[in-house]
Chains A and B, each alone.
Chain A
Amino acid sequence: MDARIGIRNTKSILFKSFIIFLAFVVTIPLIIVLLYIIKQGVMQVNWHFLTHVPAPEGEKGGGIANALVGSLLIIGMSSVVAIPVGILAGIYLSENPGTKLAYYSGLCVDILQGVPSIVMGIVVYFWIVKPFGFSAISGSIALAIMMLPIVIRSTEQTLLLLPPSLKEAALSLGVPYHRVILKVIVPCGFAGILSGIILSIARIIGETAPLLFTALGSNYLSFKVTGAMESLPHLIFTYATSPYDDQHDLAWGASFILLMFVLILNIFTKLITRKWKIQL
């Protein structure tokens, strides 16, 4: 009897150790990637790097200013479109969970989330780039469509978690429906909605495939959104595979910056949810 219990205990201990080991192993790829990119890229980053355009081929120096500005502009425009639409759609889905419209639009949102980014890029290429030419706007449209599902779903989930008594309390005070949503429900779910928005931004910031066909890229710093524009992922793609070492350096620096953006956004989200989460 004792022997059997002993074997059982040993199995338990082995199992526990195994899962602890695997949890640890999972952190290794992230750490390796982080360390490598930091090592390669951190030396590249300085004020010059951030404020100058890339040097012509073969020459030393240069920076990624055009890609930085381009990324910020493209993401800014995507957000301006995707965030309001996403939040409002999320509100509808959470307020009317049983209707046919909610069911079908929810289905579409889920499918949209699974569409490969390159397919998105091709579609926007045929619809907008073919008639109007390459532009940052077309890139923003592709990225906005990719942002939508995340914003919608996170808004919907956040609002569904709010207790119905909150809405009832507001309605019983004679508050009209639109004010109940805008002044009570959305502010209470603010932390969740904001974290959804930031997560969606963190996702599209590194999407390269759609931008290949839409915003394309350019070596010049430009603010003209109706023309082609460089972006960080596109720059990395172009320069990492080029034969010049200087351009490799630029690519590492850009990778580092991109990684930092993503890291900071994710950490920021965690902090917000903890600090601003409304204690219900």
Chain B
Amino acid sequence: MENTVVSATKFNAWFGDNHVVKDVSINIEKNQCVAVMGPSGCGKTTFLRCINRMHELIPGATAKGSLKLYSDEVYTMNPIYVRYKIGMVFQRPNPFPNLSIYDNVIAGYKLNGLKVAKADLDNIVQKSLTSAALWNEVKDSLHKKGTFLSGGQQQRLCIARAIAMEPEVILFDEPTSALDPISTSSVEQLFHELKEKYTLIIVTHNMQQAARVSDKTAFFYVGELVEFDDTKQMFTAPKDVRTQNYITGRFS
């Protein structure tokens, strides 16, 4: 398919001898918001981390199979380049505490030593913070440290930081599980807007969140991809009985 951004074919991952992701095949299309859900230990976070090659940073972690960004194999590309193209936002907001808000947003450029003109940097900061719905709240305090913001604002700062690198895909690892309900809904509102420019893949424990924000949902169970379908279909009439049991809370 022309539109496929990330595609996995029979992808496997291990932690030492522990086979965590088993033969996963999935095609994710451009400008979609895909939610990945499943019970704890089902391999969804591991799979997510394989996409931008963060998985291999853990000692003893291995992976095998085909995982492509457009038509290039992720595991043959330079990992630095992969991470430029595929950004990530983590569960606990983690802005760099020694950098100001301004520097946090352009951290990708600064820490990599990429030379960009000052006027362009200003532009990038403004655009990214606007896309992350944070510009109006911080535009007068860009040179203060990032850790004085509230949890929801810090998470949006991390999103702005990821956006500033102009990735193709943004991965979210349970992005709102450490936030209060109001911050959560402001971040969820953001997903609807981000979808138009980027492809989003969100791992979440919260089924209602998956239902609210995503176009398609993938259900992982014990390392396997059990079902991958439109969210409306998944939540009204799922095809697999395991999906139904998970969604209705019937798991023991």
Measured CB to CB, the nearest residue on chain A to B84 is A174
A82 at the interface (CB under 8 A from B): no
Measured CB to CB, the nearest residue on chain A to B161 is A173
Select which of B81, B97, B162 is within 8 A of A280 by beta carbon: B97
CB-based closest 10 A-B pairs: A174-B83, A172-B88, A165-B94, A173-B108, A169-B94, A174-B80, A175-B111, A174-B84, A278-B97, A187-B98
Q: Determine the chain B residues whose CB is within 8 A of the CB of A166 once the complex forms.
A: 94, 96-97
Q: Is the CB of B80 within 8 A of A184?
A: no
Residue count of chain A within 8 Å CB distance of chain B: 23
Q: How large is the interface on B (under 10, 10 to 19, 20 to 34, 35 or more residues)?
A: 20 to 34
Q: Determine the chain B residues whose CB is within 8 A of the CB of A60 once the complex forms.
A: none
B20 at the interface (CB under 8 A from A): no
Cα distance A172–B53 when bound, in Å?
9
Cα distance A98–B90 when bound, in Å?
25
Secondary structure at the A interface, as helix, strand, loop or mixed, is helix
A179-B113, A280-B147 known; A171 vs B97 contact (CB < 8 Å): no
Cα distance A165–B161 when bound, in Å?
15
Q: How far is the CB of B35 from chain A (nearest CB, A)?
A: 20
Number of CB contacts from chain A to chain B under 8 A: 75
Q: Is the CB of A172 within 8 A of B87?
A: yes
Q: Is the CB of B111 within 8 A of A171?
A: no
Q: Determine the chain A residues whose CB is within 8 A of the CB of B162 once the complex forms.
A: 172-173
Q: Determine the chain B residues whose CB is within 8 A of the CB of A188 once the complex forms.
A: 96-98
Among A164-191, those with CB < 8 Å from B are 165-166, 168-176, 179-180, 183-184, 187-188, 190
Cα distance A221–B88 when bound, in Å?
61
Q: Determine the chain A residues whose CB is within 8 A of the CB of B81 once the complex forms.
A: 174
Q: Is the CB of B165 within 8 A of A279?
A: no
Cα distance A272–B108 when bound, in Å?
29
Q: Determine the chain A residues whose CB is within 8 A of the CB of B54 once the complex forms.
A: 168, 171-172
Q: How far is the CB of A274 from chain B (nearest CB, A)?
A: 16
Cα distance A225–B145 when bound, in Å?
45
Q: Is the CB of B83 within 8 A of A171?
A: yes
Give A residues with C-beta under 8 Å from B: 98, 163, 165-166, 168-176, 179-180, 183-184, 187-188, 190, 278-280
Q: Is the CB of B94 within 8 A of A173?
A: no
Q: Determine the chain B residues whose CB is within 8 A of the CB of A169 once the complex forms.
A: 90, 94-96, 158, 161
A172-B54, A173-B83 known; A179 vs B92 contact (CB < 8 Å): no
Among B190-229, those with CB < 8 Å from A are none
Q: Is the CB of A179 within 8 A of B111?
A: yes
Q: Determine the chain A residues whose CB is within 8 A of the CB of B113 once the complex forms.
A: 179
Q: How far is the CB of B244 from chain A (nearest CB, A)?
A: 35
Select which of A171, A174, A184 is within 8 A of B96 by beta carbon: A184
Apart from the given pairs A184-B96, A278-B98, 14 other A-B contacts in the complex at a CB distance below 8 Å: A165-B94, A166-B96, A166-B97, A168-B90, A169-B95, A172-B83, A172-B162, A173-B111, A174-B108, A179-B111, A179-B113, A184-B111, A280-B97, A280-B147
